[in-house]
Structure 1
Amino acid sequence: METNQNIRYAIEESIRFLESNPDLAMDRCGDSRRKWNGAWWHMATLYEMGEVKQIPESAIARAKYLLEARTWPTFIISADDHPTSETDRMKMDCCHCELAVYYMILMAYGCDLDKELPWIREWFLKHQLSDGGLNCDPAAYIHSNKSSIVSTLPPLEAILWYTNREFTAQEAVFLDQGARYLIEHRLVCSKQNGHIIDTEWLKPCFPRFFEYDILRGMSFLAEWSRRRNKPLPADLLNEGMQQLNSHIEAAGLRIGRQVFDPQGPWGGHTFALLEAVAEIGDVSPYLTRQLTGIIGQLEHASNE
């Protein structure tokens, strides 16, 4: 009960921060991305908790304006992609996973970005590599043509979860190729040698923002199978369940790591809500909900 109360107080603190904080204004767009106490991270945490509607409308309006008027709508790969005017050079540049997180927050809130900012969805579909994934490193599009699992998941989620109509042929290919990419990598493994790419991915992480963990990949594949009416990769998901086993207890799934770990690559300032929902060892209701959905689909598939 005390924990719930702490989270409630922390939500109220984040709401006050978003109501009063001007750092989504156009002249300070870089500050909004400050890890981890900038406005976007407060919004993303509420979104991942399923509390997106608690984000103040004023913050949503500022966020949408930032994407609309203060963001360069091109992923910079070659010299021709750079902005040329002084005004455009002042704009924020994005990568795939960052843009997808922004997109999902605003779409979940109720914004129609496909109507108002159609370039965002086109951006995701345009940058899928031949292996089925995406990469936030522009060099991958010139040299290796190899994707990054971290860069791939948010754009896949954006298209899968925020398409409230039949998928277009291009979207269907995008999702199916993305699923193939994850399956071929067995969620966490190198295709070359079969070794786990990063053992940290085996630890459930919350909130994730752009970061990857095995549950995130499993959740995508389960929902992709359902939405696309494709066979559930049950053996792979059961493998994933075994990898998660040490974090599962009767009450649910325990958090195994924090994206903002001070000892990790992305340490930085935090805020009350982030710390309240991210305690390592705590059972996360948000991660447990994802896990329960996957278990339900595995049970359904085994009964067919």
Structure 2
Amino acid sequence: MQTNQAIHWAIEESIKFLECATNFTIDHGQFSRQKWDGAWWHMAALYEMGEVTRIPESAIVRAKHLLKTQVWQTFMIATDDHPTSETDKMKLDCCHCELAVFYMILMAYGCDLDEELPWIREWLLKHQLPDGGLNCEPEAYTHSKKSSIISTLPPLEAILFYTNREFTEQEAIYLDEGARYLIEHRLVCSKQNGSVIDRTWLKPCFPRFFEYDILRGMFFLAEWSRRRNKPLPIDVLQEGLERLKPLMEAEGLQIGRQIFDPQGPWGGRTFPLLQAVAGIGFVSPYLTQQLNQVIERLRA
């Protein structure tokens, strides 16, 4: 694990970057999301570390401005969903998991997006498929009707973790159906033949941003059971623990992969904080905390 001093320095570097970051605006073309060194990724890393309050307020203001003015507020499935004016055509077309990550960062900071940007929660709740999940591929809504686990988790987390009141009937069904989807897939498996859909999901990564891994699914189910007062899917979580054992040490849980792996599909430039907390083989205190909470729920 990187030393606390190195992580502290890297946090300060991200804060300095965000204080003067200009790349909240949209850079059209293949790097529009600026993986992995754009402002959103610095903010997401701080959020996942529990350091969201360290984000400069000026960056929060710019982020909200982007969501208010430069995002097309409709998921484009049908022809009528597409923008028609030249101004609207220049706006960013978000996907479910991306939008949910933005939402969680700002809500954790203390913004009331349900008041300021109510369309985001409405978007997330609107796009659940019959199997209980979501999919960032529009064709899934017109053809297969099958969800993607990667697309599903951030929207579920957004509703579960950032509803500071009783869940509405729609939200309760949304969460329960999402949990059913994960349980039926045993976190990582195909419903058809029981095989692991993607073996990289067995290796937790940090920060995750929008990416999925088995611990992310386990933590959601443990929290869903607690917050919704539903039976804990004990066998699914125990199976998940068995799958994580190769990366478990006495000190905690090791990071098994990096979402930004140069040899992988999402390779790209990084920044000091991302490098400081994402080393493969490092015991991650952030992942370990989630794992311990799952284990505590199982013991209880």
* TM-score, normalised by the number of residues in structure 1: 0.96
- Equivalent in the alignment of 1:124: 124
Q: Tell me the secondary structure at the aligned position of residue 249 of structure 1.
A: coil
- Equivalent in the alignment of 2:9: 9
1:263-297: CA deviation from partner (whole Å, max 9, x where unpaired): 11100001000000000000000000100100110
Amino acid at match of 1:124: L
How far does residue 33 in structure 1 lie from its aligned partner after superposition?
A: 2.0
Amino acid at match of 1:114: D
CA distance in 1, matches of 2:70, 2:153: 25
- Equivalent in the alignment of 1:75: 75
Amino acid at match of 1:6: A
Contact residue 2 and residue 276 of structure 2 kept, 8 A: no
Mapping of residues 60-209 of structure 1, within 5 Å: 60-209=60-209
How far does residue 2 in structure 1 lie from its aligned partner after superposition?
A: 6.5
- Output the aligned Cα RMSD: 1.2
Q: 1:29 to 1:71 in 2, by over 3 A?
A: farther
How far does residue 88 in structure 1 lie from its aligned partner after superposition?
A: 1.1
Q: Tell me the secondary structure at the aligned position of residue 172 of structure 1.
A: helix
Q: Tell me the secondary structure at the aligned position of residue 164 of structure 2.
A: coil
- Equivalent in the alignment of 2:245: 245
1:26-79: CA deviation from partner (whole Å, max 9, x where unpaired): x64876720100110000000000000001000000000100111110000111
Amino acid at match of 1:286: Y
- Equivalent in the alignment of 2:226: 226
Contact residue 2 and residue 277 of structure 2 kept, 8 A: no
Amino acid at match of 1:133: G
Aligned residues: 299
Q: Tell me the secondary structure at the aligned position of residue 166 of structure 2.
A: coil
CA distance in 2, matches of 1:69, 1:36: 23
Q: 1:289 to 1:94 in 2, by over 3 A?
A: same
1:180-236: CA deviation from partner (whole Å, max 9, x where unpaired): 000000000000111000000000110000000000000000000000000000111
Amino acid at match of 2:87: T
Amino acid at match of 2:90: M
Mapping of residues 274-293 of structure 1, within 5 Å: 274-293=274-293
For structure 1, the residue ranges without an aligned partner over 5 or more in a row are: none
1:57-106: CA deviation from partner (whole Å, max 9, x where unpaired): 00000000100111110000111101111221111110000000000000
For structure 2, the residue ranges without an aligned partner over 5 or more in a row are: none
